[in-house]
DNA sequence: TTTGTTATTGAAAATAATTTTCAATAGGTT
DNA sequence: AACCTATTGAAAATTATTTTCAATAACAAA
């Protein structure tokens, strides 16, 4: 059994919740998804493999998984919440391409450090942050250059 | 006349739109607001001074002001769009206190530079970004310490 | 295994912010 | 003054998210 199911089970036991096939099935689908998936998208993926599982259950399970630390809620400011993997994925920030909609993951330890310093300078105690850089990815730049030739 | 009204007028003329009292009145109220105001809040402020002006007009006028560059739309991930002044206000990032909800404006030119570098390393062409650090502000920390004594 | 308690499910309804519609009004040009 | 059409604002629509509630199922105890 994959470690992720173990984590879910442990959480369920610890909180005196109940093991259900739906919860494991949603996790099963989510594990195979990569990238940043909306509830709507994920729910459709779940429906393909487990047609009986409703949207609401996917919604509630993802909130549960977020509690366990298996996933992360990410908001790119487009009016839709997205979920990304957190287990075995370290913290990162995002480049958001406004042409193709891709989310590119980046990380810079220096920026992270300077953010902490910046907060400290204000006596602010940080516990999370989000950094999103919006623009045009390299692929879309290439595509655009081709067209305009 | 304040420069802001001039900017609005210029924009209206340039785009062949129409000068209306409503638009100037919404700007008049927004100019006196400081901080980061939601449409709901702003609409109530507008109603106090100009009771005839409806929510929809405030909504549309703020979008117009955003186009002129007089205001900025800011999304702190709480499901409500907020507006802040842009005219005579330079770019900055935000510390968001999850206790009192205050938004503290900060700026660090080094972080800005490193963000550009980070994007460049991916061949990404940035045109805007948002950095928000969530946590507890100094005032709320002090208040909490007092209570727990 | 059976029973009892109560968490979970999922369809439907509710919520809430934002956006659109449309008939009446009013800005600005001729 | 007449005309055209942008603007207004109440109401309706939209859309993602959250809640409700009756039926079901998990799981502990008998
Ligand atoms: Mn990511
Ligand atoms: Mn600000
Ligand atoms: Zn792209
Ligand atoms: Zn605070």
A100: domain CATH number?
3.30.1490.190
Instruction: Note whether B56 and B28 are same-domain residues.
Output: yes
Q: Determine the structural domain holding residue B142 and report its residue range.
A: 91-149
What is the per-residue pLDDT across A55-95, written as a single tens digit (0 to 9) for each? 999 999 999 999 999 999 999 999 999 999 999 999 999 99
Instruction: Note whether A106 and A79 are same-domain residues.
Output: no
Per-residue pLDDT for B1 more than 70?
Answer: no
Is there a contact between B126 and A134 if contact means CB atoms under 8 Å apart?
yes
Instruction: Note whether A85 and A112 are same-domain residues.
Output: no
What is the per-residue pLDDT across B62-119, written as a single tens digit (0 to 9) for each? 999 999 999 999 999 999 999 999 999 999 999 999 999 999 999 999 999 999 999 9
Instruction: Note whether A56 and A101 are same-domain residues.
Output: no
Instruction: Pull the structure tokens for residue B77.
Output: 């991930």
Q: Is B100 annotated as a binding residue?
A: yes
Per-residue pLDDT for A149 more than 90?
Answer: no
Considering only CB atoms, A119 lies closest to which of B75, B95, B114, namely B95
A3-14 vs A21-32: helix crossing angle, rounded to 10: 140
Instruction: Note whether A95 and A114 are same-domain residues.
Output: yes
Q: Ligand 1 centroid to A104 CA: how many Å?
A: 7
What is the overall mean pLDDT for chain A?
A: 96
Q: Is A89 annotated as a binding residue?
A: no
What is the per-residue pLDDT across B81-93, written as a single tens digit (0 to 9) for each? 999 999 999 999 9
Instruction: Note whether A81 and A109 are same-domain residues.
Output: no
Question: Rounded to a whole number, what is the distance in angstroms from the first to the last CA of chain B?
Answer: 53
Last residue of one domain, picked from the residues B41, B62, B89: B89
> What is the domain-level CATH number for residue B2?
1.10.10.10
Cβ-based contacts (< 7 Å) between B 59-78 and strand D:
60-61
Instruction: Note whether A82 and A99 are same-domain residues.
Output: no
Q: CA at A59, C1' at D19: how many angstroms apart?
A: 13
User: Which A-chain residues 90-109 have CB contacts (< 8 A) with chain B?
Assistant: 95, 97, 104, 106, 108
Instruction: Note whether B83 and B16 are same-domain residues.
Output: yes
Residue B111: its chain A contacts at CB < 8 A?
111, 114-115, 118
Could you tell me the CA-to-CA distances from A114 to A95, A127, B38, B49 in Å, in that order? 19, 14, 30, 44
Query: Poorest-confidence range of A57-61, B45-49, B63-67, B144-148?
Result: B144-148
Which of B116, B39, B98, B41 lies closest to B73, judged by CA?
B39
Instruction: Note whether A14 and A83 are same-domain residues.
Output: yes
Is there a contact between B106 and A115 if contact means CB atoms under 8 Å apart?
no
Q: Tell me the nt nearest to A18, Cα to C1'.
A: D26
pTM, entire model:
0.93
pLDDT of residue A131: 98
8-state DSSP, B146: H
- Residue A66 approaches strand D within 7 Å at CB: no
Instruction: Note whether B99 and B83 are same-domain residues.
Output: no
Q: Ligand 4 centroid to A127 CA: how many Å?
A: 13
Considering only CB atoms, B129 lies closest to which of A122, A129, A132, namely A132
Last residue of one domain, picked from the residues A89, A115, A136: A89
Q: Give me the residues paired with residue B128 across strands.
A: A134
Per-residue pLDDT for B52 more than 80?
Answer: yes
Structurally, how many domains does chain B consist of?
2
Helices and strands (H, E) in chain A, number of each type: 6, 6
pLDDT of residue A1: 63
Instruction: Note whether B75 and B99 are same-domain residues.
Output: no
The phi-psi region of residue A58 (left if phi > 0; otherwise alpha if psi is between -120 and 50; otherwise beta) is alpha
Instruction: Note whether B63 and B131 are same-domain residues.
Output: no
Q: Ligand 2 centroid to B77 CA: how many Å?
A: 14
Considering only CB atoms, A106 lies closest to which of B95, B118, B138, namely B118
């Amino acid at each position: 059994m994959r470690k992720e199911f173990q984590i879910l089970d442990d959480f369920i036991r610890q909180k005196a919740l109940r093991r259900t096939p739906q919860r494991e099935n949603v996790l099963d689908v989510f594990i195979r998804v990569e990238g940043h998936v909306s509830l709507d998208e994920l729910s459709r993926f779940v429906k393909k493999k487990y047609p009986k599982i409703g949207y609401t259950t996917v919604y509630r399970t993802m909130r549960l998984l977020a509690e366990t630390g298996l996933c992360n809620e990410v908001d790119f400011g487009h009016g839709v919440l997205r979920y990304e993997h957190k287990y075995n994925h370290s913290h990162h920030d995002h480049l958001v391409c406004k042409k193709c909609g891709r989310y590119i993951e980046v990380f810079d330890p220096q920026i992270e450090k300077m953010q902490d310093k910046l907060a400290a300078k204000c006596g602010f105690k940080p516990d999370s942050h989000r950094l999103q850089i919006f623009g045009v990815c390299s692929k879309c730049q290439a595509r655009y250059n081709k067209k305009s030739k």
